[in-house]
């Protein structure tokens, strides 16, 4: 593996988030709890992204080095500890989760024609679409190798089912793009598939490896599902927020692609309810026809504020945060439970 890429991966995981916000403090709690396990997971990730085909570790390493805080693997590690697990099966499964996530990012950036991710050039911008798709396939294969080595049919079922649902969610999102008839239920179905299901699987695995009762596995699955929905809701809100610059992404990427996220859905609903012909014509032009000018994004954001679409979207995210916290009620208080609660708080308070 390229030494510079390896250094980037190591630096990304050793960096301690700034404690200037509740969100980052929440991540500190989770990171501190499982820091040793996370080091072992990172070693597994680096080991299994190797290949004699030089382009594979180069391209995969580029994205993994920019992969943020490893939230999904962290959830697997913390959930396993919450359930009292003392072995090491969770390490390989956490690495498997990260490979599935990274593979979907590679494919997503190609589909979305994205040039930046977290302030860095996307793999497809640097290496091209074909290599990005193929290396994404390679990472999916690595993920299935890791899950098969666990030798648990239940683990294989959970992760293979999640992979299938993710793919369905991405296709469903493609079908709803540029379609102003998309409603809240259809939107929630999309994000439940493309985002939340991997959060749910990440958490459910903790109960499975610890051989805990089904009600605990169900509770962790629900926690992860609600957390994932809240996480994606906030991502979609941030696309219309000045905070987006801190994520290394330009404001309005979803708008320019005509994605039907909740802020647009709510603003369009208000325009429809008020029979506002001017606003309805605007949304039809910029979303359905993708006929956009430089000033249209600012106007779209102004309409969202006019109709409280961003505020109402955040209110829904908070509802899912509370559902996630409530799902943990069957577990006794512990540092692990506290860390998982902090992870939920992080999901709606992100500023990085």
Angle, CA of 66, 70 and 59, to the nearest 5° = 35
pLDDT tens profile 304-313: 999 999 999 9
Is the pLDDT at 43 greater than 60, yes or no?
Answer: yes
> Crossing angle of helices 3-14/55-65, nearest 10°?
20
Residue 15, CB half-sphere, CA atoms under 13 Å: how many? 15
pLDDT tens profile 198-256: 999 999 999 999 999 999 999 999 999 999 999 999 999 998 986 665 555 678 889 99
Helices (H) and strands (E) in the chain, counts: 18, 2
Q: Residue 199 in contact with residue 225, Cβ under 8 Å?
A: yes
Is the pLDDT at 96 greater than 90, yes or no?
Answer: yes
Is 136 buried (19+), middle (13-18) or exposed (0-12) by CB count in 10 A? buried
Nearest to 65 by CA among 97, 36, 98, 91: 98
Q: What is the pLDDT of residue 322?
A: 97
Q: What is the pLDDT of residue 68?
A: 62
pLDDT tens profile 64-93: 766 567 899 999 999 999 999 999 999 999
Classify domain 21-347 at the CATH topology level.
Farnesyl Diphosphate Synthase (1.10.600)
Q: What is the pLDDT of residue 33?
A: 92
Is the pLDDT at 8 greater than 90, yes or no?
Answer: no
Q: What is the pLDDT of residue 185?
A: 97
Mean pLDDT of 172-177: 92
pLDDT tens profile 122-166: 777 677 788 888 988 999 999 999 999 998 999 999 999 999 999
Is 102 buried (19+), middle (13-18) or exposed (0-12) by CB count in 10 A? buried
Of residues 331 and 65, the one with the higher pLDDT is 331
Nearest to 217 by CA among 296, 330, 104, 105: 330
Domain ranges within the chain, ordered by starting residue: 21-347
The structure's pTM equals: 0.88
For the chain, the maximum distance between any two Cα atoms, rounded to a whole number of angstroms, is 62
Q: What is the pLDDT of residue 28?
A: 84
């Amino acid at each position: 593996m390229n030494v510079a890429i390896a250094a980037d991966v190591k630096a990304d995981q050793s960096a301690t988030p700034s404690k200037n916000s509740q969100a980052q403090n929440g991540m500190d709690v989770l990171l501190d709890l499982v820091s040793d396990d996370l080091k072992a997971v990172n070693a597994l990730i680096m080991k299994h992204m190797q290949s004699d085909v030089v382009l594979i570790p180069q391209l995969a390493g580029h994205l993994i080095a920019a992969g943020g805080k490893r939230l999904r693997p962290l959830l697997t590690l913390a959930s396993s500890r919450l359930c009292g697990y003392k072995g090491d099966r969770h390490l390989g499964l956490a690495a498997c989760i990260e490979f599935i996530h990274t593979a979907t990012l590679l494919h997503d950036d190609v589909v979305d024609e994205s040039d930046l991710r977290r302030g860095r050039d996307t793999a497809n911008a640097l290496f091209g679409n074909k290599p990005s798709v193929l290396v994404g396939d390679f990472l999916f294969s690595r993920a299935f190798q890791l899950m098969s080595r666990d030798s648990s049919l239940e683990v294989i079922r959970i992760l293979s089912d999640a992979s299938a649902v993710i793919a369905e969610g991405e296709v469903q999102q493609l079908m709803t793009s540029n379609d102003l008839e998309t409603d809240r239920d259809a939107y929630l179905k999309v994000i439940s598939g493309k985002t939340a299901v991997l959060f749910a699987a990440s958490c459910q695995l903790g109960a499975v490896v610890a051989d805990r009762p089904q009600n605990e596995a169900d509770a962790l699955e629900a926690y992860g599902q609600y957390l994932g929905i809240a996480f994606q809701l906030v991502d979609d809100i941030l696309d219309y927020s000045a905070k987006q610059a801190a994520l290394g992404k330009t404001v309005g990427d979803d708008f320019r692609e005509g994605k039907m996220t909740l802020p647009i859905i709510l603003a369009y609903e208000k325009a429809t309810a008020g029979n506002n012909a001017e606003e309805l014509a605007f949304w039809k032009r910029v979303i359905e026809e993708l006929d956009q000018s430089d000033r249209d994004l600012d106007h779209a954001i102004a309409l969202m504020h006019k109709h409280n679409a961003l505020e109402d979207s955040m209110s829904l995210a908070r509802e899912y945060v509370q559902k996630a916290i409530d799902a943990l009620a069957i577990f006794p208080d512990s540092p692990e439970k506290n860390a998982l609660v902090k992870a939920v708080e992080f999901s709606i308070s992100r500023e990085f």
